Amino acid sequence: MNKVVTSAEQSIADMPDGATVALSGFGLGHRFPNTLLQALRHQGTRQLTLVCNSLGNAGEKGQLLVENKQVKKILASFSVRPGTRTPAETQIIAGELEVELIPQGILVERCRAGGAGIPAFYSPTAADTELAIGKDMRYFNGKAHVLEHAIHLDYALLSGYRADRAGNVQFRGGARNFNPSFAKAARVAIIEVDEIVETGEIPSELIDLPGIFIDRVVQNTHFIDARKLSRSGKRAADTARSYLGKPGLTRAAISRNAAKIVRNDSYVNLGTGIPTEVSNYLEGRGVWLHAENGVLGYGGTVTGDAIDPDVFNAGGQFVQPIAGTSYFDSVTSFEMARGGHIDTVILGAYEVDQDGNVANWSLADAKRGGIGGAMDLVAGDAELIIVLEHRDSKDRPKLRKHCTFPLTARRRVNWVVTDLAVLHWVDGRFVLEAVAPGFTSEDIVALTEMEFAVAPTLAIMETA
């Protein structure tokens, strides 16, 4: 059996207009099937429905197909990202591109179901949110669950490290993520790899995806320099906003105070943005960090020669593997979250309200935004810590009476840590337990829309 195809162009030559096609790849640049994407753009196949985590940045990755007007619809966890204007967003606004936003864990689970012959399933993810509107809802053990339908693919365009002629695939590091579920859901699964070897040259215990799920193998000819993936447009961790003429804490200090809440010897998921800084304050405490792209146990961020292009966190930052680091696909990753195996989840957010609701996924409307994995991460029983600045760049409150953004989850927040305050959910309300140096409880009341109680004795938050 020989599944190796001479070229990427040949491997997709039979793809018809109107096909449903999955694209592997995480974040803005990690392990996209760039060789296959270039071939598909050149071929010009039209009216495609793309299934993916995201389309990448403007001028590259899946955006190439959108830019070339080859795409009619996307099913994705991120249709757009903050601060990045893309052809996809332009076409969405113009009504030229249809969008279905799907939580990341549900996206892979729907594909896994499609490949496993399961037509539908119930999940706690997104229950009581806008994404559940119009879907069947059932209660199991007193908890709401939403009916989700399997996704079936015509083609899956994948990326891996190594494959043999029988189609057996080996992945590296945290780059497995969506590949297995997409491959299983596809009628035709095509993978581009860095290296093609003879059957038997990959040790059996290193085969991560058996060849039965792969139809065609092509050589990757469009290599990406990993160092170019480190894109950072966010404010530095050592910068701080001012309130009432006084400086609040830096973003790094927010993370330090959140880290104090984390229990020793626990499993902790860190979201993107400010939460990634929390890893700098957990050393020596026996904490195992979880990243939803498929990594358990990692250290701090790395640069330069220390970069391994396939070892990165959910924010796309390159990180240091540690003794005991393990890698797995996205289905397994979200099993850890929804199954209650993760002790603490630390997320950023746009808003938290006085009922313990959190909103962290919409930028403008239900079509232009990014859900990511947050809804799946909070669907389990993990303690939820929200980290954010107290007010936004336009001086609007982020701690509201009622969230104005679409909700990620209802009544799930246990702690809120801002650059001014630490609030703890106790007996059905938030209690102010600590304030930034130089601020009083009266200051926090003046700068906060939500109602909260004040602890009898207030602690002073630590600086970075």
DSSP 177-215: BTHHHHHHHEEEEEEEEEEEE-TT-S-GGG-SB-GGG--
Q: Is residue 203 part of a domain?
A: yes
Q: Which residues are known catalytic residues?
A: 292
DSSP for 230-290, please give it.
----SPPTT---EETTEE---HHHHHHHHHHHSPSS-EEEE-SSGGGGGGGG-TTTT-EEE
Give the CA-trace dihedral at 266, 267, 271, 276, to 10 degrees.
60
The residue among 224, 259, 281 that closes a domain is: 224
Distance, CA of 78 to chain centre: 9
Asked if residue 1 belongs to a domain, the reply is no
**pLDDT for the residue 29:** 81
**347 and 270 part of one domain:** yes
| Residues 328, 423 share a domain | yes
- Domain count across the chain: 2
Residue 234 lies inside a defined structural domain of this protein: no
213 with 261, same domain: the answer is no
Assigned domain for 123 exists: yes
Residue 47 in domain: yes
Say if residues 269 and 337 touch (Cβ distance below 8 Å).
Answer: yes
Sign of CA dihedral 413, 414, 417, 422: positive
Domain final residue pick, 169, 190, 224:
224
279 and 180 belong to one structural domain? no
Task: Assess if residue 3 is contained within a domain.
Answer: no
| pLDDT at residue 234, rounded to an integer | 57
Tokens 């593997």 correspond to what residue?
321
287, part of any domain: yes
Query: What pLDDT does residue 368 have?
Result: 60
| pLDDT value of residue 80 | 76
Tokens coding 189: 């699964």
Is 2 domain-assigned? Answer: no
pLDDT for residue 79: 85
Residues 382 and 317 in one domain: yes
Burial 216-253 (b: 16+ CB within 10 A, else e): bbbbbeeebebeebeeeeeeebeebbebeeeebbbbbb
Shared domain check, 194 and 284:
no
Last residue of a domain, one of 176, 193, 224: 224
The mean pLDDT of the chain is 93
Q: In what side-by-side order are the strands of the sheet with 137-140?
A: 120-123, 143-149, 137-140
Low-confidence ranges of the chain (pLDDT < 50): 232-233, 366
Same domain, 187 and 321: no
Domain harbouring 274, CATH code: 3.40.1080.10
The span from the CA of 346 to the CA of 352, in Å, is 13
DSSP string, 376-420: HHTTSS-EEEEE--SB-TTS-BSEESS-SSPPSBSS---EEE-SS
Identify whether residues 171 and 246 lie together within a single domain: no
Q: Does residue 124 share a domain with residue 21?
A: yes
> What is the torsional sign of CA 201, 206, 211, 214?
negative
Co-location of 197 and 98 in the same domain:
yes
CA angle (106, 79, 316) in 5-degree steps? 75
Q: Is 424 helix (H, G, I), strand (E, B) or coil?
A: strand
What is the distance between the alpha carbons of residues 353 and 49, in angstroms, rounded to a whole number?
A: 37
Domain interval for residue 424: 242-460
Are 203 and 273 contained in the same domain? Answer: no
User: Does residue 251 share a domain with residue 291?
Assistant: yes
